[in-house]
Each structure stands twice: as structure tokens, then as C-alpha cells.
């Protein structure tokens, strides 16, 4: 992604969770319905994934040195509430599982009162996404195992999946 992140390429101070990712909704993100367009939810979630990569050792230096990166193989996004121009956003990232070459994680998007605020404990997300990502050796053109240090860092962050994770889109019309 081309946007600069405010995170340093170091691990978070708290080794058991990732820092929140923050953005403010820009005027150009508003669609003809007067709220944030669906493409920009994906953009914000993509930036949150980049921040997660930085915090877990998959930063730009790692990618340049190894030729490896994280590729999204599957995602499921839920739009739960409209988001207005100028809203301050906070994204919580949760690691749900990791193995040799894959990571499953989710992002929860919240509207908060100020640019660096933390969502209230009872706050409901305005959108969520669940992702399956593959660790890919771009030079070889195939998946590759995570380095032990990265896999261990990812594994240290794994937490139980929220109730909404693992869902799929229902059939339309509903099956009888």
C-alpha cells in the first residue's frame, strides 16, 4: 500500500496484543449515498493488515531481504453500520490461528470520538473482516514457511475467534 504508516518497524510494547490502527474518514471516501463507500472499508482494513505485518516482523525490510510477503487468499467482510465523513476510526486486529505457511486473522472497525481514542468495551464494530493469508516467496512463486521468529510472534498473539468469525454468506433464496 502506498500510504505511510505511523508505526515503527518494531514489535508492540505489549507482546500479547497488537496496537489499534487509526484513520479518519476523508471526504473522497464518501459515496453517492452519503456515507463511506465499501471500497474504503477494504482500504482501511488493508492498511491495518500492513500495520499487523510491521508489528509481527513482516515489515518492508523483511520483504526486501527475503522476497517473501503475506498474500490475502480469502476474506469475508461485513458492513454493519454506516460511517460518516470525518469519523475517527480504530481497527482492532486479532490473530485467530497460524501454521507453517498460513495465518487467519480478523479486523474489527470502530468509530471513536477522537483520532487516537480506544473503543469503549461495550462498543459494537461498524464493520468486520476475516482473512486467510498465505506467506508467499515471491521469487519462487509459491507459498513458503514463515521464519520461526515470525511464526512464534504470530502464535503468541492468537486468541479465541469472535462469535461472528467463520460465517459464510447465506444462500438466496434460502434453502428449504
Alpha carbon distance 95, 104 (integer Å): 6
Question: Over its length of 176 residues, how does the chain's per-residue pLDDT go in tens digits?
Answer: 434 444 333 334 467 799 999 999 999 999 999 999 999 999 999 999 999 999 999 999 999 999 999 999 999 999 999 999 999 999 999 999 999 999 999 999 999 999 999 999 999 999 999 999 999 999 999 999 999 999 999 999 999 999 999 998 889 998 87
| Cβ neighbour number for residue 45 with a 10 Å cutoff | 24
Q: What is the pTM of this model?
A: 0.90
Amino acid at each position: 500500500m502506498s500510504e505511510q504508516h505511523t508505526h515503527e518497524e518494531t514489535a508492540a510494547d505489549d507482546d500479547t496484543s497488537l496496537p489499534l490502527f487509526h484513520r479518519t474518514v476523508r471526504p473522497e471516501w464518501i459515496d453517492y449515498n452519503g456515507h463511506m463507500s465499501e471500497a474504503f472499508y477494504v482500504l482501511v482494513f488493508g492498511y491495518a493488515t500492513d500495520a499487523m505485518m510491521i508489528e509481527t516482523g513482516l515489515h518492508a525490510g523483511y520483504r526486501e531481504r527475503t522476497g517473501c510477503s503475506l498474500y490475502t487468499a480469502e476474506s469475508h467482510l461485513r458492513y454493519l453500520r454506516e460511517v460518516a465523513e470525518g469519523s475517527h476510526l480504530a481497527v482492532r486486529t486479532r490473530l485467530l490461528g497460524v501454521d507453517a505457511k498460513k495465518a487467519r486473522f480478523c479486523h474489527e472497525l470502530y468509530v471513536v470520538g477522537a483520532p487516537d481514542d480506544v473503543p469503549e468495551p461495550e462498543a459494537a464494530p461498524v464493520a468486520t473482516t476475516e482473512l486467510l493469508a498465505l506467506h508467499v516467496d515471491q521469487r519462487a512463486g509459491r507459498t513458503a514457511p514463515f521464519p520461526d521468529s515470525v511464526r512464534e510472534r504470530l502464535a503468541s498473539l492468537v486468541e479465541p475467534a469472535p462469535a461472528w468469525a467463520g460465517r459464510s454468506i447465506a444462500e438466496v433464496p434460502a434453502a428449504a
